[in-house]
Amino acid sequence: MGIGPGWSVTATATRGEVAHMLHNLLTLLHGNGNEPSTTTSPPTTAPLTRPARDVWVHADGSGDYPTIEAAVAALGPGSTIRLGKGTFTLTKTLVLDYALELVGSGWQTGNTLVAYAGTVVAVNGADLHAENIRFVSAATTLRSVVMEVRDSVLDLQSCYFSGGNRLSDSGGYGLFLGGSTTATVTNCVFTKNGLHGISVEDEAQVLLQGNTCMTNSAGAGILFSDNAGGTARDNYCSHNGTRGITAQKNAVVVLEGNTCSNNAGSGLSLLGDAGGTIRDNECSSNGLNGISLNDRSSALVERNTCLSNAEAGILFNHQSRGTARFNECSANKIGILVEATADPVVENNNHLHGNTLSPQLYDKR
């Protein structure tokens, strides 16, 4: 008859009652008496989040982390790594791909030096602020760039970049800015690199202010190329292998207040279809011209001082165009030279005097 409400727990159970009890037990354990499922879901864990911290790293391995590489690997976006005095020799290129601040104790000799025998720092899709650090590539047998930045936001202040090695027409930059990078670079030094001190390429947009770019052996102190652009203001570009500052291809630039002297070629030069404004610069003692516009370039050239250049104070060459006004050109071979195929407007308010050849404005059109 089964187990009902009146069944006595002290009575002897029949075979049917025992079967009924076992059935009820299986139902309690497994819902309906079926075999339990052997499929289990893996435990869920939250993704590992690296912390944002403000830490110190010292050259002797002390501090919060023993090396810069260890700190970068352990920390998360928004962190600040402070570097003490001394030499930090990397074991490989320092790759940065998240928002970070690197703060040294000074770029001058004896302060904070970060070195590697190759490209020292590569910044990819990140937001980097760096200040008071001396970055040096010690590469001699391979291509290197001291700092290579692509598709990033960059702020550099009071840093030093040297040793970019040129090999097989590659590398040799103190600072390379490419892709969609936006950058502000102020009061930095770029020297003794194999090609350019600073190269701004692709679609990068920059403000370069108060920097020193000198003795970069085979290129310019500053180069703008491709569709890049921006402003170069109050920079000192001297003794470079080609020009002080160059803009080429489709670059659009504002060059103002720069001092460009003793460069092997021209102080300031536009090439290709480059364009912009060249204003309030001093270009002196360059191996060719103070300011030169070539190819199909075009610019407003105003209030510049061009002294003691080997060729022209200002040259309009090829099919270049633009306007020259309120410039002072003296002690050059020629004051302003306009080649026959060029088509600029040269206003009569330029001050041309003491140049070797006459007329002071040599217009071949």
DSSP output for 147-159: EEEES-EEEEES-
User: Are residues 237 and 262 part of one domain?
Assistant: no
- Indicate whether 338 belongs to any domain: yes
Residue 35: predicted pLDDT = 47
Backbone angles phi, psi at 101, to 5 degrees: -115, 130
Stated pTM of the model? 0.87
User: Are residues 235 and 285 part of one domain?
Assistant: no
Residue 128: predicted pLDDT = 98
User: Are residues 235 and 109 part of one domain?
Assistant: yes
- Indicate whether 166 belongs to any domain: yes
User: Are residues 225 and 338 part of one domain?
Assistant: no
Residue 33: predicted pLDDT = 45
Short-list 179, 275, 288, CA closest to 199: 179
Q: Count the neighbouring beta carbons within 10 Å of the beta carbon of residue 287.
A: 15
What does the radius of gyration of the chain's CA atoms come to, in whole angstroms?
34
User: Are residues 174 and 106 part of one domain?
Assistant: yes
Short-list 349, 345, 347, 289, CA closest to 321: 345
- Indicate whether 79 belongs to any domain: no
Short-list 312, 224, 210, CA closest to 256: 210
- Indicate whether 17 belongs to any domain: no
Report how many domains make up the chain: 2
User: Are residues 351 and 220 part of one domain?
Assistant: no
Chosen domain end from 207, 241, 275: 241
Tokens for 69? 């590489």
Report the alpha-carbon distance of residue 332 to residue 323 in Å, rounded.
20
User: Are residues 308 and 221 part of one domain?
Assistant: no
- Indicate whether 30 belongs to any domain: no
Report the alpha-carbon distance of residue 74 to residue 285 in Å, rounded.
51
- Indicate whether 183 belongs to any domain: yes
- Indicate whether 322 belongs to any domain: yes
Counts for the chain of helices (H) and strands (E), in that order: 2, 39
SS3 70: helix
Report the alpha-carbon distance of residue 288 to residue 267 in Å, rounded.
8
Q: Which residues make Cβ contacts (< 8 Å) with residue 108, sequence separation at least 6? A: 134, 160
User: Are residues 174 and 111 part of one domain?
Assistant: yes
User: Are residues 106 and 193 part of one domain?
Assistant: yes
User: Are residues 267 and 198 part of one domain?
Assistant: no
Report the alpha-carbon distance of residue 275 to residue 321 in Å, rounded.
9
**Dihedral in degrees, nearest 10, Cα atoms 196, 198, 202, 207:** -150
Q: Are 191 and 220 in contact (CB under 8 A)?
A: no
Query: What stretches in the chain show pLDDT beneath 50?
Result: 1, 33-38
User: Are residues 289 and 231 part of one domain?
Assistant: no
User: Are residues 207 and 277 part of one domain?
Assistant: no
**β-strand partners of 81:** 55, 102
Range of the domain at 271: 251-365
Q: Are 276 and 255 in contact (CB under 8 A)?
A: yes
Q: Are 236 and 244 in contact (CB under 8 A)?
A: no
Chosen domain end from 241, 276, 294: 241
Q: Are 227 and 203 in contact (CB under 8 A)?
A: yes
Chosen domain end from 192, 221, 241: 241
- Indicate whether 34 belongs to any domain: no
Q: Count the neighbouring beta carbons within 10 Å of the beta carbon of residue 349.
A: 10
